[in-house]
Amino acid sequence: MASSRDSPSDRAATMYGELGNKLVQHAKRTQSLAHLPPYQTEIVRAVTREVRDLDRDVTRLLEPFEGAFNPSADPAIACALLVDHLCMRRNKRCLLAYHRVRTEKLEELCWTGVDILEQQQHMDGTQTALGPNGHSSLSPEEEEYFRQYGDLLAAYKGQWTDVDLTGTLEPPKDLFIDVRVLKDAGEIQTEYGVINLTKNSQLYVRQGDVERLIAQGFLERLT
């Protein structure tokens, strides 16, 4: 049985939609990871290039008919057009699904209070939620999305000053906890007055006051 699967070595004759498939497999892996793997710029670019090629092919096929194409008179051309169209549609679906999986992940990070942009600047720090390579795993568009979504979320949360919407749902066992300051965070205002967070100091504070700072990596909880 002749099969396109049997000739993977033939690079030039990659079946349409195969690259899009690779992208979706990346998305599948992303779903089960805790961090966001690097953005596949190369594949995304190759898939969009494939769509442009297909579109050019459609224009070329339709050229001789000068706008008066009749599918039933020319079933072979109609079939070729259908295949081109379906491949473009498939690629579109793969691209959209890939980006959606990633944006959903970004939104999730926003809600849990992980500042992925902040972490990228502190790559030399101990904890990294990023890939092993030094540079950003987000595309520039994704960075912008993350920033703006964060702003939206902050504006939304701002409506309720007495409830922390992104706070944990687990009831705390102890109201007060011991924390160690990992990075200078300056002064913060609490119900019991101002506390000054200088690096390496150790404090006994109300858990609700410092939860965000722990999530952001400024403080470490001591048990």
Partner 1 sequence: MSYYDIDSILTDSQKLPCTFELEVPGLGILEGNAGEDIKAGTRIDLPLWLGEMLSIGARLGTSRLVTLDMPDALSERVMNALKADPRTLDLRALAPHFYNLSERILELFEEEEMVDVLTDTFKKRAAEIADHAHNSRGAVGDGVDFLRGLDETERQLFRAAHDRAKEMRIWSGEARRK
Task: Decide whether 82 or 123 has the Cβ nearer to partner 1.
Answer: 82
Q: CB of residue 4 vs partner 1: minimum separation in angstroms?
A: 5
Instruction: Kindly list the residues in this chain that would bind partner 1 in the complex (CB under 8 A).
Output: 1-7, 10, 12-13, 15-17, 21, 24-25, 27-28, 31, 57, 71-72, 75-80, 82-83, 86-87, 90, 93-94, 96-97, 100-101
- Residue 3 Cβ vs partner 1, minimum distance, rounded to whole Å: 5
**176-181 and 202-206 as β-strands: parallel, antiparallel, unpaired?**
antiparallel
CB of 117 to partner 1, least distance (A): 25
Q: Which two tokens stand for residue 92?
A: 């579109």
Closer of 5 and 132 to partner 1 (Cβ): 5
Distance, CA of 39 to CA of 55 (rounded, Å): 25
Considering the complex, state which of residue 31 and residue 161 has its C-beta at the smaller distance from partner 1: 31
Nearer to partner 1, 125 or 172 (CB): 172
Q: CA 123 to CA 220: how far, in whole Å?
A: 18
Tokens of 152: 């939206």
> To the nearest whole angstrom, how small is the minimum distance from the Cβ of residue 190 to partner 1?
28
Q: What are the φ and ψ backbone dihedral angles of 188, each rounded to 5 degrees?
A: -125, 150
Q: Which is nearer to partner 1, 97 or 185 (CB)?
A: 97
CB of 89 to partner 1, least distance (A): 8
The string of DSSP codes covering 142-189 is HHHHHHHHHHHHHHHHTT-SS--TTS-SSPPS-SEEEEEESS--EEEE
DSSP 67: T
